[in-house]
Copies of this chain bind each other. A is one copy, B any other.
């Protein structure tokens, strides 16, 4: 993956995805003002439409006729369902049974067929469906087309804030941080890219320390409120890009994620789902490691259960 791949993705998806605003905030340190890249305002409420669209527009007409299948805890599901619907492609989504209701309903409303399974059975179920139907698997993160699509977020950040010093990005499977890191480092090598994980789903942080990709158990990662970040390991392709382009990995506590949800809502006036608030929590938790200069936290999505949002505000 290099900058040209991401620029090609940007050309391919232009007009099909929204160019989201970079919002200044009053949060953060005076010498490192915090900006929010508001992917919560992306169509469908998350960055995932970028990668899914970049993958689908490259399918052959033969592939399109067989439909697509994926597994996802929510936002990739909605993004793929939406992109598929808009291109007239049938989509089947395998989802863990503990997926928030709001995400189930949103995915079904986009016309996808949903198959609910235990989280541990996701991959095997996708494999079975592929064999039965010939559908094309569009993975949520471990895929060059997906990484390139998500990386377009990085192009927009540098275009809007050319002197950006630090970019905080939430990590689940690692597609978003891989793509952003490739783009940002190519355009501005001195900018630091920091990956952020919940401490309760910190497989990347552990692997970063050990120097090898590690896998956590879904019973462990399932503990975090950040339901979009419960993937048990970063992808293999993503791991290689993270090792090469990401500068640091930081973990955040659950109460910091809740505080960040509240802060984003009351200061920047946009909804951050827990997974989307993680990058803001990472900024706040980074302390003395934070360099002077403008910072960006990628608020990756805004699809949240109203009851949780009410609880965080109350």
Which of A's residues lie within 8 Å of B, judged by CB? 21, 23-24, 40-41, 43, 45, 262, 265-266, 268-271, 302, 306-307, 309-311, 313-314
Please name the 5 residue pairs, one residue from A and one from B, whose CB atoms are nearest each other, closest first: A310-B313, A269-B302, A310-B314, A269-B271, A310-B310
| Distance, CA A265 to CA B309, complexed state (A) | 10
| Distance, CA A40 to CA B267, complexed state (A) | 10
Of A40, A265, A269, A307, most buried by chain B (CB within 10 Å of CB) is: A269
Name the one of B40, B268, B306, B313 contacting A262, with C-beta atoms under 8 angstroms.
B306
Closest to A266 in B: B306
Asked if B43 and A269 sit within 8 Å, CB to CB, the answer is no
Closest to A262 in B: B306
Closest to A267 in B: B45
| Distance, CA A310 to CA B41, complexed state (A) | 21
Main SS of the interface on chain A? Answer: helix
Closest to A272 in B: B269
| Distance, CA A155 to CA B87, complexed state (A) | 33
Closest to A276 in B: B269
| A33 to B: closest C-beta gap in Å | 13
| Distance, CA A23 to CA B43, complexed state (A) | 9
| Distance, CA A13 to CA B281, complexed state (A) | 34
| Distance, CA A145 to CA B180, complexed state (A) | 43
Closest to A299 in B: B269
Asked if A45 and B307 sit within 8 Å, CB to CB, the answer is no
Please name all residues of chain B whose beta carbon is closer than 8 Å to the beta carbon of A306 when the two chains form the complex: 262, 266, 313-314
| A34 to B: closest C-beta gap in Å | 15
| A116 to B: closest C-beta gap in Å | 23
Quick one: given A270-B271, A310-B310, are A41 and B24 in contact (CB under 8 Å)? no
| A269 to B: closest C-beta gap in Å | 4
| A45 to B: closest C-beta gap in Å | 6
Asked if B302 and A307 sit within 8 Å, CB to CB, the answer is no
